[in-house]
Amino acid sequence: MNGVALRMLLGDRAKYIGLIFGIAFSTMLMSNQISIFAGLMLRTAGQILDAREADIWVMDPRVEYVDKIEPMTQMQLERVRGVNGVDWALPFFKGLTVAHTRDGILQQIILLGVDDATLAGVTPHLVLGSIDSLERPDAMIIDRAGFQFMWPGEAPSLGKIIELNDHRAVIVGISDASAPFTTYPVVYTKYSTARNYVGRTRKQLSFVLVRARAGIDAHLLAQRINAQTGLKALTWQDFTWATIEYYVKRTGIPVNFGITVVLGFIVGAAMVGQTFYIFVLENLRQFGSLKAMGVANGTILRMVLLQALVVAGIGYAIGIGLCAGFFEITSRTSINLRGFELPWQVAAGTGCTVLVIIVIASFASLRKVMVVDPAIVFRG
């Protein structure tokens, strides 16, 4: 009877297309909203995610997230280095400053200073130039979007000059750094150079990046650093979540966006569920007739579930394809939308959601089919 079930489904083209459209639209709505939300949240922790050499970030105990800086003295770096289990510990500067181009454009930038000797902490994704070029005097690496903000309409190129607090800086690399929440250009330079740009003070160490020795558990090492130095030490994963949680709790944007996500989910679930529920109810007389003619309940159940899986599968494939296409197109057309993509977890989660919704809708409608009313079978 599987063939009959599929013919019933495909026979009424208008209903079939309506079902597919409903599920595709719902899939698109859910996956798109959740992906944008996830992308937005990941932007808050972009700099942590880009410094993947570090297992642990160490900071002043009052720091709650990556954008809240409470500078430490250089002495703290030495104390962290003294903790057993630390392979290496390096300084990391993070601050905001203003850059000027020769064309007079003024731009707030995120200035990141990495260890002079190792250059650890620089994003590994470079579009032009190389990380080693940072060793040159006044050298800096700017992200692709930042380059476009500062030199609009120009193709990314090296050798451009900018001015930071009356200091000259030369662009020696173009990176594909993760987009920050604030959309400011992300600029990498050496730790010592960064301090020169912002002006030297006694406390300028934003973070200490730590690599655990081989075989040492990062969580345990973080606890040890915390216990021995009194500083806050978090694994990069924990620091990422702490940053995301801060934005979720302390700003209205994610909450409002979350409401959109929830609404998208509810609207999507209602559309998928109701569309399929109505489809089954419209075929109630056919199912009732089949049941009267001796088709077992189990067979009817399989027929309805097969119909559900087919429409869910096709609708989901179209919807998720549209979502992926949306991000592909938007990331190509606007550099401000870079980094927004369809994570596989969202695709899988949306698939499971569509499946659960349609199975629930199938069973809800099947209740009526299972208890077949002779009046439905025998009367008009």
Partner 1 sequence: MRHPPIAARCNAVTKAFPAGDGTVEVLHGIDFEMLAGELTMLVGPSGCGKTTLISIIAGILTPTTGEIEICGKPITRMSDAQKVAFRRSNIGFIFQQYNLLPALTAAENAAIPLVAAGMPMARAAGVAAMILETIGMGAHLGRLPNQLSGGQQQRVAIARALVHAPRLIVCDEPTAALDAGSGQTVLEILKRAALNPDRAVIVVTHDTRIYSFADRIVAMEDGRLAALRTSPLAHVSDVA
Binding mask 2-31 for partner 1 (x = CB under 8 A): -xx--xx-xxx-------------------
- The Cα 375–Cα 42 span in angstroms is 58
Per-residue burial over 284-315, b if 16 or more Cβ lie within 10 Å, else e, is: beebbebbeeeeeeebbeebbbbbbebbbbeb
Smallest gap from Cβ 185 to partner 1, in A, equals 60
| Token pair in block for residue 1 | 């009877």
Q: Which is nearer to partner 1, 299 or 330 (CB)?
A: 299
Question: Is 375 one of the binding residues for partner 1 (CB under 8 A)?
Answer: yes
Cβ count within 10 A of residue 159: 8
| Token pair in block for residue 23 | 């599920």
Q: Is 209 exposed, middle or buried (0-12, 13-18, 19+ CB in 10 A)?
A: buried
Q: Which is nearer to partner 1, 167 or 368 (CB)?
A: 368
- The Cα 284–Cα 195 span in angstroms is 75
Spacing of C-alpha 378 from chain mean position: 56
Q: Map the footprint of partner 1 across residues 230-289, applying CB under 8 A.
A: 285-286, 288-289
- The Cα 300–Cα 369 span in angstroms is 8
- The Cα 233–Cα 235 span in angstroms is 7
Question: Is 104 one of the binding residues for partner 1 (CB under 8 A)?
Answer: no
Smallest gap from Cβ 274 to partner 1, in A, equals 22
Q: Map the footprint of partner 1 across residues 298-317, applying CB under 8 A.
A: 299
Binding mask 278-297 for partner 1 (x = CB under 8 A): -------xx-xxxxxxxxxx
Contact 69, 95 (CB under 8 A): yes
Q: Which is nearer to partner 1, 1 or 310 (CB)?
A: 1
- The Cα 295–Cα 302 span in angstroms is 11
- Number of residues in contact with partner 1, rule: CB under 8 A? 28
Q: Which is nearer to partner 1, 155 or 375 (CB)?
A: 375
The strand pairing partners of 207, in sequence order, are 92
Q: Which is nearer to partner 1, 6 or 170 (CB)?
A: 6
Smallest gap from Cβ 283 to partner 1, in A, equals 9
Query: 361 φ, ψ to 5°?
Result: -60, -40
Q: Which is nearer to partner 1, 192 or 378 (CB)?
A: 378
Q: Which is nearer to partner 1, 119 or 300 (CB)?
A: 300
Smallest gap from Cβ 281 to partner 1, in A, equals 15
Question: Is 379 one of the binding residues for partner 1 (CB under 8 A)?
Answer: yes
- For partner 1, the binding residues (CB under 8 A) are 1, 3-4, 7-8, 10-12, 285-286, 288-297, 299, 372, 374-375, 377-380
